[in-house]
Amino acid sequence: MFLFLNAGAAVAASPVFDVHVHLREGEKSLLAYEADVQAAGLELVGLGAMWFGGPHQARQGELDKVRVGNDSVIALAAKHQRVLPIATVHPYDGEAALQELRRVAAAGVKVLKLHAHTQRFDVSDPQVEALVRSAGALGVMVLMDNANILPGDSEKLFNLVARVPGTTFILAHIGGMNFRFWNILALARTADGFAMDNLYFDISGPVLLAADSPLEAEFVWTLRNVGIDRVLLGSDYPQMGLGKAADALDRLDLTDEERSKIRSGNARKLFGR
């Protein structure tokens, strides 16, 4: 019993990297977020920070607003070492979106966020593929919403990821309550030349529902089928806090090694931090 308790304490004390944070008011939001994380007793080693979300959206044609927002998170990252800046553009802005992508990549941005639901675009549109293909060529990863709110969300994302193997994708929310879909990867990867090793998932949202639920075993099974090394912890702050996400992760029937990878190991390896 003593050894079991000590092992649990060690996991609880392992650091966390939150890949999904919305800082709607810049540094003010960052300080509030850090206070929230500290109150939860967590050691934070990094956070993927976005300026958009909630009342701040990045819609088609809002180029000036997007540039200002992207610059704000780039500046925040320059001042705060733990911040990984996440920029955005709108795929339907065409060449202007590609120019902004090149600009933020030159400024050191390594992650681009796209959200089909709130930005109002179709994942299967050729302009989306052109944008994410360009991101990969620039060494920029693409974080895409996958809460499965839109019909065919996961299926369209599967096809996009398969068509653009040169770009690394992170799918936020692992399909929402349609997480079961992603078990198909265990079969898809048996096909020749179909490793889909450019795909990662953040588990913000569904992890809160899965822990201690009738779905927990199936959720854990899904994480193992997509690959534990491909799973990242996210909160989706301020909508949901990191403390609750980390607590839910700790309650899943995972090994200590698996938890440690998801809490921060995988993210640190992926982002080189």
The residue that leads in pLDDT, 194 or 44, is 44
CA distance readout (Å), 269 to 20, 165, 194, 207, 263: 16, 19, 23, 22, 12
Whether 89 has a pLDDT exceeding 80, the answer reads yes
Residue 56 CB partners (closer than 8 Å, separation 6+): 24, 69
Across the chain, the runs of DSSP E, i.e. the strands, are 16-22, 44-50, 83-88, 111-114, 141-145, 169-172, 199-202, 231-232
Work out the mean pLDDT of the chain and round it to a whole number: 95
The pLDDT confidence band at residue 93, using thresholds 50, 70 and 90, is very high
Is 5 among the domain residues?
no
Is 157 among the domain residues?
yes
Alpha helices in 40-152 (DSSP H): 63-79, 94-106, 116-119, 126-137
| Cut 0.85: pTM above it | yes
Is 32 among the domain residues?
yes
Whether 157 has a pLDDT exceeding 50, the answer reads yes
Whether 8 has a pLDDT exceeding 60, the answer reads no
Mean pLDDT over 23-49 rounds to 98
pLDDT for 193: 86
Is 160 among the domain residues?
yes
Q: What percent of the chain has pLDDT over 70?
A: 95
pLDDT for 9: 45
Mean pLDDT over 77-100 rounds to 99
What pLDDT, in 10s, does the model give residues 179-219? 999 999 999 999 998 899 999 999 999 999 999 999 999 99
Q: CATH code at 204?
A: 3.20.20.140
Whether 5 has a pLDDT exceeding 70, the answer reads no
Is 10 among the domain residues?
no
The pLDDT confidence band at residue 1, using thresholds 50, 70 and 90, is very low
Is 4 among the domain residues?
no
pLDDT for 68: 98
Is 204 among the domain residues?
yes
Q: Which domain holds residue 178?
A: 16-271
Residue 159, token pair as written in the block: 């096809």
Is 11 among the domain residues?
no
The pLDDT confidence band at residue 54, using thresholds 50, 70 and 90, is confident
* Closest by Cα among 235, 215, 233 to 15: 233
Mean pLDDT over 42-65 rounds to 96
Count of the separate structural domains present in the chain: 1
Whether 243 has a pLDDT exceeding 80, the answer reads yes
pLDDT for 13: 60
pLDDT for 7: 42
